[in-house]
Chain A
Amino acid sequence: MSHAHAEGHTIDHLEKATLEGKNKILGFWIFLGAEMVIFGTLFAAHIGLRGELNGGVSGSEIFSLPIVAIMTALLLTSSMTSVLAIQAMHRHELKGVALWLGITVLLALGFLGLEIYEFVHYVHEYHFNIQQSPFSTTFYVLVGCHGTHVAIGIVWISLLIGQLFKKGLTVVTAPKVYVASLYWHFIDVVWVFIFTVVYLMGKVG
């Protein structure tokens, strides 16, 4: 710890060492504010319309909580591994950053695979497609919007790992890793709400 102090603040937090880095981080927080409104609106639509089944199936009939629980576990763990990556970055351990980011991507791939399986299962078993009812439309748009975010995150973080090996940890790459981790936490928080509002409340309500 004393070693880190000796190196000073800017070295300790490589991502905030330059004005460009600081701009990037603040800009990303504001972007997450916009994302919050986007998901908030989709949640509002889902809560308002989930009782409208149009003769189709309801959430309590089709949701399988064990699968969703596994997905939740995968995604929450991946959020933790992305924190470990940031901590490794603050210790200047390039390999640690790449390793933890790699694990994050693997966990996210697991999550995405299960989600795709879930959607395919719904469509084939229950004919629960996007056109069935207002409930199905809001379900697929909300959960699908989150899934798209996960997919984008996978591509983004994978590219970042490649860049890290090529360029190392610099004042250019560090802010990128940092905002990717911010993004990943946000995706995670959204999933916590989806798990609660869509799946748990859908199962009992």
Chain B
Amino acid sequence: MDWITTVDHKKIGILYLFAGLLFFAIGGLEALFIRLQLAYPMNDVVSAQRFNELITMHGTTMLFLAALPILYGFFNFIIPLQIGARDVAFPFLNSLGFWTFFFGGVLLNIGFFTGDTLPDSGWTAYAPLATEYSAGRGMDMYSIGLQMSGIGTLLGGLNFVVTIVNMRAPGMTMMRMPLFCWTAFITSILIVFAFSALAVGLLMISFDRLFGGNFFNTAAGGNEILWQHIFWIFGHPEVYILVLPAFGILSEVIPTFSRKRLFGYTSMVFATSIIGFLGFMVWAHHMFTVGMGAVANTMFAVATMLIAVPTGIKIFNWIFTMWKGQIRFTAANLFAIGFIPSFTIGGVTGVMLAMAASDYVFHDTYFVVAHFHYVIVGGTVHGIFAALFYWFPKMFGRTLNETLGKITFWLLLIGFNLTFFIQHWLGVVGMPRRVYTYLDGQPGWNEMNLVSTIGALLMGVAVVILVINIVITLMKPKNATNDPWEDGRTMEWAISSPPPEYNFKQTPLVRGLDAWWVEKRAGNKEMTPAEPVGPIHMPNGSILPFIMSIGLFIAGIGFMYDTLLMIVGGLGILVICMILRSLIDDPGYHIEPEEIEGKGVKA
């Protein structure tokens, strides 16, 4: 019950983490079924319709319900600690964002329970395939479920922007902020502007499908290219939304395990901002073959290639951070170091795809599949796993098993490259994306597909070992010290693991970049306080966010199945909860200094 009503950023962070890992497992199983189906020519593990559902749900689940929520888990838990805040700016909204995301995700997957067709038009939901030619309720689940989880994500992004702008501890200037917070800040801005475009696109699909609208109905004069523009104005920033936080994680992990400050902090901040800005300028490179004309294609091609410059700055800065550092190859650091070559390969193929002329050859082949998996798995997933091993002791008070972690890393690295490296060639020899099977006797297809499937199974084993690792570690007693890696540089390592509910007993005073490192160098055992010990104001928990999300969920099902009663009832619950929230003031409560001493923060 406490977990349902909590508004504590640390608990919500853990909720995000586990919800994300749950969806990650679902999406991973879907991926394994895709690869099993493609292991042999003319295979029939799943039907063609089921295959379409699998690829759609794999992409949608991994991007919206797994990768981003897991990153949100780290944002929630770590940002307030790194900037020295007691909580995020809007604790209530934080809880609402989580539950809206979660029930949106359930709605997206509801076909598993009701037996309807699942979403089956690809994660990009191109019109008119998604609007006119997708029978059943699948794409309604997509448009309404994603709408809901998108609202949750948007609320979260807004919350992080305000938290980072307004809640920093005294002395924590923007240019003293840990790079993880910087990337979270830029990411959150991207989320606010990108997810609102997606919201409108999904609204349009819903209107076309449910109310006979004509946005994408070409027979009536609608324009299906409009959907592509709207989707990619969201979709391209989404790529940076996923990978920028991973950049931030690397910029924390690599300095810690190199015993050196991050090389080129200022250039990292600027590179992050420029990537965020350019991320909005390049959406049409997903549409080179639509026929926008040579001028438009050239502009977007050049803009896309520009992004390689700030990204290159980052790659070199990480390498220079390790240069002459005392590198420790912990599991977290292995994932971080493994990120660099894998992501660079994804970046190089990205520039190849950015050349509009050659994109006509690569378009919609397995080359593209290989490219974005190098970016997402080689980038985001490696970053997420590095963060998991790095911050696990801070979040749960126990350090994950290093040996199992290293086994996970090597299996993942080998399996991942086995799966996707060969897909570059598969794409160049002409295997198209999204086909559910292929004929025997095509040059090398049988062998390459089989290799790819074996790699996918290895990745599956790696994830299973990670899950085992998490489970056995959580069963051990809490024994992590404040600073379990001993070389922690940022403020989260100055307090106990896991931190008390109020985080810092006294708001800390930040005296430089890498605030905790500065204090350690000065011989201090804890942060220099910026205020005397006093009562700490805390917000009360609330059940309303949970009920509001259930209301939205009911209304969503109502829209899907044309049930007026459920629409009115669900929205009614939502509105009543909003009114209650507005009318009833939450005075919160205070934790008195004596209580803090009594609880005995362990050393």
**Which residues of A are interface residues toward B (Cβ below 8 A)?**
19, 22-23, 26-27, 30-31, 33-35, 37-38, 41-42, 45, 48-49, 52-54, 130-134, 136-138, 141, 156, 159, 163, 167, 172, 176
CA distance A27 to B89 in the complex (A): 9
Cβ of A33: which chain B residues have Cβ within 8 Å of it? 192-193
Q: How many A-B residue pairs have CB under 8 A?
A: 109
Q: Does B212 contact A (CB under 8 A)?
A: yes
Q: Does B217 contact A (CB under 8 A)?
A: yes
In contact, A141 and B213 (Cβ under 8 angstroms): yes
In contact, B582 and A163 (Cβ under 8 angstroms): yes
Question: Contact size class for B?
Answer: 35 or more
CA distance A38 to B154 in the complex (A): 12
Within 8 A of A (CB), among B220-255: 220-223, 226, 230, 233
CA distance A35 to B200 in the complex (A): 10
Cβ of A176: which chain B residues have Cβ within 8 Å of it? 582
Contacts A130-B207, A131-B211, A137-B215 given; does A49 touch B158 at CB 8 Å: no
A184 to chain B, nearest CB (A): 16
Cβ of A156: which chain B residues have Cβ within 8 Å of it? 582
CA distance A15 to B582 in the complex (A): 16
Q: Does B1 contact A (CB under 8 A)?
A: no
Partner of A23 from B89, B201, B222 at Cβ < 8 Å: B89
In contact, A137 and B221 (Cβ under 8 angstroms): no
A161 to chain B, nearest CB (A): 12
In contact, A23 and B162 (Cβ under 8 angstroms): yes
Q: Does B204 contact A (CB under 8 A)?
A: yes
In contact, A130 and B217 (Cβ under 8 angstroms): no
In contact, A30 and B192 (Cβ under 8 angstroms): yes
CA distance A35 to B89 in the complex (A): 20
Contacts A53-B221, A134-B217, A137-B213 given; does A27 touch B159 at CB 8 Å: yes
In contact, B199 and A134 (Cβ under 8 angstroms): no
Cβ of A30: which chain B residues have Cβ within 8 Å of it? 158, 161-162, 192
CA distance A132 to B220 in the complex (A): 9
Cβ of B215: which chain A residues have Cβ within 8 Å of it? 45, 49, 134, 137-138
Q: Does B292 contact A (CB under 8 A)?
A: no
Cβ of B217: which chain A residues have Cβ within 8 Å of it? 134
In contact, B89 and A54 (Cβ under 8 angstroms): no
Please, could you name 24 A-B residue pairs with CB atoms under 8 Å apart, sorted by A?
A23-B89, A26-B161, A26-B166, A33-B192, A33-B193, A35-B196, A37-B196, A41-B197, A41-B200, A41-B233, A49-B215, A49-B226, A52-B220, A54-B221, A130-B212, A131-B214, A133-B214, A134-B214, A134-B217, A134-B223, A137-B213, A141-B204, A156-B582, A163-B583
A200 to chain B, nearest CB (A): 23
In contact, A26 and B204 (Cβ under 8 angstroms): no
In contact, A41 and B201 (Cβ under 8 angstroms): yes
Contacts A22-B166, A30-B158, A38-B199 given; does A49 touch B211 at CB 8 Å: no
Cβ of B93: which chain A residues have Cβ within 8 Å of it? 27
B486 to chain A, nearest CB (A): 35
Q: Does B90 contact A (CB under 8 A)?
A: yes
CA distance A48 to B204 in the complex (A): 14
A103 to chain B, nearest CB (A): 21
A50 to chain B, nearest CB (A): 10
Interface-centre pick from A41, A52, A136, A176 (highest chain B CB count, 10 A): A41
Q: Does B522 contact A (CB under 8 A)?
A: no
CA distance A45 to B228 in the complex (A): 12
In contact, B162 and A134 (Cβ under 8 angstroms): no
Cβ of B196: which chain A residues have Cβ within 8 Å of it? 34-35, 37-38, 41
Contacts A31-B158, A134-B220 given; does A19 touch B166 at CB 8 Å: yes
Cβ of A172: which chain B residues have Cβ within 8 Å of it? 585
Cβ of B211: which chain A residues have Cβ within 8 Å of it? 130-131
In the complex, given contacts A19-B166, A131-B213, A156-B582, what are 10 additional A-B residue pairs having Cβ atoms less than 8 angstroms apart? A26-B165, A30-B192, A34-B158, A34-B192, A38-B196, A49-B214, A49-B221, A52-B214, A133-B220, A137-B213
